[in-house]
Chain A
Amino acid sequence: MRSYLEDLGLDQHADELAIRRAYARKLKQIDQEKDPAGFQRLREAYEAALFQARHGAADQHESDEGPGVEREGLDEPEPASAGEIDRASAEAPVHPQAEQEESPDVDARAVFLQLMASIAEAPRNLAEVRALFDLAIEDPRLISVEARDLFEWFIAQLLSQGWRPGNECVLEVAIKHFNWQDDRRRLYRFGPVGAVLDHAIHEMNAFARQEEHARQLSLIRALRVPVRPSNGKLADGLPALEEIARRFPTLFPLITSEENLGRWRSWSKDVGAWRRGLGRSRARQVVKAAPPGGEKKSWGKSLLVGFLLMGALSTLSNVLKTKPSYYSAAPPPSSMAQGKSSRVTGPASPSLASNVDKDWLLPIPLASENLVALLAKEPTAATCSEVAVVAEAHPTGLGEEDPALARRFDNRIVTCAAMMLWPASSNDWVVRAAVDRQKPKLKSVR
């Protein structure tokens, strides 16, 4: 039944080394120029057998990597969990060797956080964000290929997890810089995170083709600002916005948030019903007048479905096949894996943190078992909020009393921020301070 293994003259338990040997042996018997079909058959059998050996085996016994040094690619059987990131950076100083290896990771993270911090400093326009982004990209710490790659991953992760102020600019700059528009494979290797961005870019193209897109953009811009618009604007704008959210379900949550829309909805309840009705009918007219592409409906639908299905399949297989171990597993955006209509929601709603009662949390005694216990927990939105409270109470770090704990604490702050779990209500400078405290260590690594 495993015909590709049989093609290679192997049994079901063949390991990678045996598969490669068999492939090499058979390849030498084929004239690639004269027998292209034979080569392709062999190649397909080989790739299928390798895939089976790697992933089939990983399911059964996780730690078995197969003998020898033949492990190919980055596909570790289990992606590093968030906890592992934390542990790795926390342990790094203890093992100089490990620290060396971790250095692209540390560098990329530091540059990323610096960028985030400088964007968060003040409301930014596109040109400013682009300048900051370019500055980060030119950072000497990103000269290593691996560090750059990780930086791209951090940015992708940030963007896919839903809108935060400034993201709309980062999205535009990142698409251009990383060439996501044209080099789609670059996104696919990021698994579900990449699939969200890829789909968003697709919707973006459709969005830009609409005649009305300038007006719609200004509506979205208004939506981001937490200021109540005039009644007229609410009545006109909300139905149009609802329509955009419906038609661009992946893009919308990346450039503005559901909460923002919810805010407008609740404001709009105050507006007279007759006015709302007027706005709705006008919005429908607008949409009818300018369909994207402007041609007949219902053409080539199955082509699209086929394409999407393929996309979903290749995404899935990409997740299986190519997710590098150092890309920590991001919580997959809710419905993406199921295919077409996707609605991305951020895994941790930033507004949650503002509900935490700080007074109640403050009396965590420093260096007590409480803090140790807190750090032992996985970094989640809840534990990161607690960390943030302690961090704000100790803006210069935990001091020299227990350097190991202080370091672990700083690492956790950085990890929380890198995972986008840092509460929005907390000051970003706390994170920056933690990054700065790590800096001398970073320099000594180089």
Chain B
Amino acid sequence: MIVGIDLGTTNSLVAVWQDGTSRLIPNALGEFLTPSCVSIDNDGSVLVGNAARERLQTHPDRTVATFKRFMGSDKTFTLHKRTYRAEELSSLVLRSLKADAEALLGESISEAIITVPAYFSNAQRKATRVAGQLAGLQVDRLVNEPTAAALAYGIHRREGASRFLVFDLGGGTFDVSVLELFEGVMEVRASAGDNFLGGEDFVTSLMELFFERNKLPPKLRGSGEFMQQLAARTEAAKRALSTEKQATIRVRSAKNEYAMDLDESLLESTCAHLLRRMRDPVERALRDANLRGSELDQIVLAGGATRMPLVRRMVTQMFGRFPATDINPDEVVALGAAVQAGLKMKDAALNEVVMTDVSPFSLGVEVSMTGNDHAIAAGYFDPVIERNSPIPISRVKRYFPVQDRQSHIALEIFQGEARMTAHNIHLGSLRVSVPVAPRQECGVDVRFTYDVNGILQVEATVLKTRQTFSVIIQGNPGMLSDAEIAQSLKALSELKIHPRDRMEHRTLLARAERLYQVMRGEGREWFGRQILEYEKLLDKQDMGAIEPARERFEQVVDAIERDSHVGSFDLDPKT
């Protein structure tokens, strides 16, 4: 069985293709959304998901979130003495999802389709594969998130022809893809995006405003507990605005309590710069697809952040019509990943659908050019594969040395759209020896081959000698070598994972601890005793007694949570 996984910045989901349809798999808590959070528990075991997210506030030094943003980079995170890379943390999330799927399906899972933002670079894709590998999952195929979303929408209507624009605003990334479905072919026409724009940025902007309005001292930024509490409250208020007219962000530090009222117009003015950044990828994807807004059949929303009425309104204005919302935007990508898994398993119900994708960026080499007065200037980018070309693709271009009697050509390989290579991403180099001769006789054919998995091969053939030189682009900085992967695999396997069947209790406790931290006075003391009693009960492992106690305790925690949102933290939950 192959599962489809949406490995998100904020939340991750796993789904499977079963009985001709996609099915989401619940985690140990019975929820489909597993927060992409990792925490090291007091006993050294690894917590993933809700329990970890609760601990962001109580144990910020042992907990981490939004690490997807650092996939493919050398950034490390220190959790309780040990450092982790983003792909290692991602692998812990994947492992947790894998366990959920195995629990539900009753079989071992060894293969997965993982979705990535369409605009993920080669290095980021490679890191995602490594994360799968570290979690014991074979990842043959990565699927772009918007493509998955369109698959989820398109799979049940493959008779007619339709054009989709997928507007995918996740926690940390923004992707736009234009797709067309005809005759059972799901063709990606164009993709564009912004890897550093997402729902989290709205929260960050609001937090900045909170600091400004409350004239908070800058040193508070150093307090992990305070910042995490503020982030959680801001996130909650932002979500509340999806249904309410107003919300209040209320946070307390050691001595003081701070608050800020939030409404739609304040949210809009605070985040105007983020909304503006969304326009460009949309316009570019449409331009590249050579379509007008009015020629689209459906605007599909994906990603939790598209729930914001603010974002929906903007999409509606940009296209002059309402977007489709039949499928939950949080779940649509995972559902599509499961469709892709079904395709991979050659499921009979799907044998009529094929997909083609595009390369979201241009790939090319550095060239020199002469101006009108024959002077030479170096550093120009000449694309060999233009962005949004259907992949797999192979393209050849012929180049000549700059000078007569040059002994070799240094091919510098770049990815990007800028005229000058200085503003593009350097992928690698290839040194090509050429015969010592007049430059016109030393032509070199440069072939770029880009496959469905985003692996680029560059091959140069010297015309005169038929000698070939080639390089496969993967050794980017910020990537693990095979030896490092093996080492990391070993280290990770030594980690103790918190037992899945006790996750529910652990999560409830983590939540209680978080609430305890911000309570005051008598209520706090009382609640502390409740937590202790519950912990003692859990230690006894008396299953008969645990369940009713858990239910009681959960009610108390729920009540306190409600109160803490409404107003003061001094409320006594008994009254």
Contact = CB atoms under 8 A, between A and B. Distances in A.
B371 A292 contact: yes
A23 interface: yes
Contacts of B469: none
Nearest to A68: B161
B163 to A, nearest CB: 9
B374 A298 contact: yes
Interface string B348-380: 000110101000000000011111111111100
A185 B289 CA distance: 12
Contacts of B439: 300
A70 B185 contact: no
Contact of B320 (A28, A144, A287, A293): A144
A74 B377 contact: no
B176 to A, nearest CB: 11
Given A148-B283, A301-B370, A28 B161 contact: no
Contacts of A74: 290-292, 295
A33 B374 contact: no
A294 interface: yes
Contacts of A291: 373, 375
A313 interface: no
A248 B369 contact: no
B504 interface: no
Interface stretch (B81-89, B99-107, B250-258, B415-423): B415-423
B318 A40 contact: no
Given A146-B294, A148-B279, A36 B394 contact: yes
A139 interface: no
Nearest to A243: B373
A293 B377 contact: yes
Nearest to B296: A145
B390 interface: yes
Nearest to B381: A182
Interface in A13-40: 20-21, 23-25, 27-28, 32-33, 36-37, 39-40
A136 to B, nearest CB: 14
A181 B375 CA distance: 21
Contacts of A294: 375
A300 to B, nearest CB: 5
A322 interface: yes
A249 to B, nearest CB: 7
A143 interface: yes
A59 interface: no
B190 to A, nearest CB: 11
B370 to A, nearest CB: 5
A24 B185 contact: yes
B561 interface: no
B287 interface: yes
B182 A24 contact: yes
Contacts of B370: 298-301, 303-304
Contacts of A248: 372
Interface string A413-440: 0000000000000000000000000000
B319 interface: yes
Contacts of B286: 145, 149
B225 interface: no
Interface string A82-110: 00000000000000000001000000000
B372 A247 contact: yes
Interface string A279-313: 00000000100011111111111111011000000
Given A32-B392, A144-B293, A300-B376, A205 B419 contact: yes
B368 A300 contact: yes
Contact of B376 (A181, A189, A299): A299
A78 interface: no
B356 A32 contact: yes
Contact of A303 (B183, B399, B418, B419): B399
A40 B393 contact: yes
B400 interface: yes
Nearest to A181: B419
Given A291-B375, A295-B375, A143 B317 contact: yes
Contact of A301 (B283, B374, B451): B374
A9 B570 CA distance: 78
B402 A299 contact: yes
Contacts of A213: none
A3 interface: no
A341 B372 contact: yes
Interface in B312-347: 314, 317-320
B382 interface: yes
B239 interface: no
B465 interface: no
A127 interface: no
A297 B403 CA distance: 10
Contacts of B554: none
B478 interface: no
Contacts of B290: 73-74, 189, 322, 324
Given A247-B372, A291-B373, A146 B293 contact: yes
B515 interface: no
A184 interface: yes
Contact of B368 (A20, A21, A303): A303
B482 to A, nearest CB: 22
Contact of B292 (A28, A143, A293, A324): A324
B282 interface: yes
Nearest to B392: A36
A43 interface: yes
A144 B368 contact: no
Nearest to A70: B161
Given A145-B286, A189-B287, A307 B161 contact: no
B546 interface: no
Contacts of A293: 371, 375-378
A296 B376 contact: yes
B452 interface: yes
B183 A297 contact: no
A186 interface: yes
Contacts of B402: 299-300, 303
Nearest to A24: B183
B293 A145 contact: yes
A185 B388 CA distance: 11
A303 B286 CA distance: 32
Contacts of B314: 143
Contacts of A21: 183
A377 interface: no
A299 B371 contact: no
Nearest to A39: B392
Contacts of B418: 181-182
A146 B296 CA distance: 12
A206 interface: yes
A227 interface: no
Contacts of A181: 418-419
B369 A300 contact: yes
A74 B293 CA distance: 11
Contacts of B372: 203, 206, 247-249, 341
Contact of A302 (B295, B378, B400): B400
Nearest to A46: B390
A307 B382 contact: yes
A190 to B, nearest CB: 11
A146 B291 CA distance: 10
A39 B354 CA distance: 12
A28 B365 CA distance: 33
Contacts of B183: 20-21, 23-25
B23 interface: no
A62 interface: no
Contacts of A189: 287, 290
Given A24-B184, A201-B419, 7 more contacts: A28-B352, A32-B392, A69-B161, A287-B373, A297-B375, A300-B400, A307-B369
10 contacts: A28-B351, A33-B453, A182-B419, A297-B374, A300-B369, A300-B402, A301-B374, A303-B399, A304-B370, A326-B292
A-B CB proximity, top 5 nearest = A36-B392, A24-B183, A293-B377, A182-B418, A291-B375
